[in-house]
Structure 1
Amino acid sequence: MKNKILKKTFTAVFLLFTIVNFSQGNSANILLDAFYSKIKSQKNPQIIDARGADEFALNHIEGALNFNLKSEDYEKHVAALNPSKPVFIYSIAAYRSGLLSTDLAKRGFSEVYILEGGIASWIGGGKPFYSNLKSKLSLPEYKKILTDNNYVLVDIGSKYCATCKTVKPILESIRSQYGEKLKIIEIELEESPQVIADLKTVKVFPTLILYENGKIVFKKDGLGDLKNDVDLALASK
């Protein structure tokens, strides 16, 4: 009984703290489902893509505006927003969206939400998006690769993702060590967004998945110790 009372008290305090924070103009990182639900609850949601213009041109959430703190017309964009309504921000990681949300909070915007995982989470979660190209790799082709190879290591990322770039030399090391025993495929958002959406398993970039006979051995949200994990998984194979 005492634990239930404490739990209810904690929940009430947490909710009050959240309300106070937003009344003071703070921002919050939220997961995809909550981000999507809040957007759908708005008649004309204020969605901001804080990536660069070249990234935005390739793919983005439908209805999103594109600007960040480095945009030449930044003040004009901010002035066009309604500070009393929620603002929804995303980028490819947390850096640019974080800077933008901090500035908007300082300017008195009542609710600022950042999508945890950015565009990777949105498209990787199968939510609707705009793309100006057709994916180079389709889901049937992806599945065929898994069927045709005993071991497959999949690297899912973006050329605009800094952490994704650090994966490349590690993949080359793994490729040199295992040769034809391990098939490695690299999927980039800028080339094959639809297969990433169809997989409905990507939350962040990079996402790394090791398959054995079509079944997942491990899935990593982020780089971690990829080389060691692959070595452990294939040590006795």
Structure 2
Amino acid sequence: MKIPSSFLTILLLFGTILIKAQNGPTPVAVFAQKIAKEKAPQIIDARSAEEFALNHINGAIYLSPNDADYEQKLKSFNSNKSVFVYSIGNGRSAVLAKDLRNRGFQEVYELEGGIGSWVGAGNAIFTNADKPLSKNAYDQLVASNKVVLVDVGSKYCGACKKVKPVLEELRQKYGTSLKIVELNLENDPDLIASLKTVTAFPYLIIYQDGKPVLKKAGIKDLSQELNQVLDKAL
């Protein structure tokens, strides 16, 4: 009997989603959709307790394999239901996700890009942000300066710290002709969400005459790419 091609396509799609859930990070759109379908989603924040206290995805529970009560806390989770895990990048969440799978959890979804991608996609979080930069003030900064470099990250992000020396070099090179704005998850979550462009931390944006001319996630070739764009703009 010949199997309809449409049925094979559905099977292939289902298999791809299942493999991704079990073996690699899940894109933020899929992650959010699956959480929305759960009546009481099991969401785990794999960062530190301090980070969790400052901000986290709504409904998330802090859990770290390094804590003394890890085994006890783990008993409160249902291994037969989906579990959603995130951190800043994929380091701590990957360790936790792997441990959950090894313990028999059936569906473990690890957020690709971490909480940065979640906020960057405009999804809501709980936050204790203090004196954030408003969207109106941000727009004014972009509009009133010929060239603006925006650095988006978190003070708990290891890779984000490697951006700071690069920014200092750019300050020395371009002086006041370059406006640098630094946003972080701890103070500016709503503003970061409103940009609807951040996919991971760190994330860099260069505006020229009010329009973005560079959007870059990560630190690979960062100094080279920033200098190339800024040399042309300035």
Task: Decide which moves more: 106-115 or 71-80.
Answer: 71-80
Is the contact between residue 128 and residue 186 of structure 2 (CA under 8 Å) also seen in structure 1? no
Correspondent of 2:43 among 42, 47, 57: 47
For 1:235 and 1:18, locate their aligned partners in 2 and report how far apart those are by CA, in whole Å.
Answer: 43
Distance 1:224 1:104, change over 3 A: same
Task: Verify: 1:148 aligned to 2:144, yes or no.
Answer: yes
Correspondent of 2:89 among 88, 93, 102: 93
For 1:191 and 1:94, locate their aligned partners in 2 and report how far apart those are by CA, in whole Å.
Answer: 22
Is the contact between residue 22 and residue 109 of structure 2 (CA under 8 Å) also seen in structure 1? no
Unaligned residue ranges in structure 1 (runs of 5+): none
1:1-237 paired onto structure 2 within 5 Å: 12-13=11-12, 15-16=14-15, 19=18, 26-236=22-232, 237=234
Note the aligned Cα RMSD (angstroms). 2.2
For 2:126 and 2:115, locate their aligned partners in 1 and report how far apart those are by CA, in whole Å.
Answer: 11
Using structure 2 for the length normalisation, give the TM-score: 0.91
Look up the SS of the partner of 2:205 in the other structure. Answer: strand
Report the CA distance between 1:151 and its aligned residue: 0.3
For 2:15 and 2:211, locate their aligned partners in 1 and report how far apart those are by CA, in whole Å.
Answer: 45
For 1:16 and 1:117, locate their aligned partners in 2 and report how far apart those are by CA, in whole Å.
Answer: 22
Letter in 1 for 2:92: R
Per-residue displacement from partner, 1:160-215 (whole Å, max 9, x unpaired)? Answer: 11100000001100110000111111111112111111111111000000110110
Using structure 1 for the length normalisation, give the TM-score: 0.90
Unaligned residue ranges in structure 2 (runs of 5+): none
Distance 1:218 1:17, change over 3 A: closer
For 2:229 and 2:200, locate their aligned partners in 1 and report how far apart those are by CA, in whole Å.
Answer: 22
For 1:16 and 1:197, locate their aligned partners in 2 and report how far apart those are by CA, in whole Å.
Answer: 32
Distance 1:18 1:148, change over 3 A: closer
Letter in 2 for 1:233: V
For 1:43 and 1:202, locate their aligned partners in 2 and report how far apart those are by CA, in whole Å.
Answer: 28
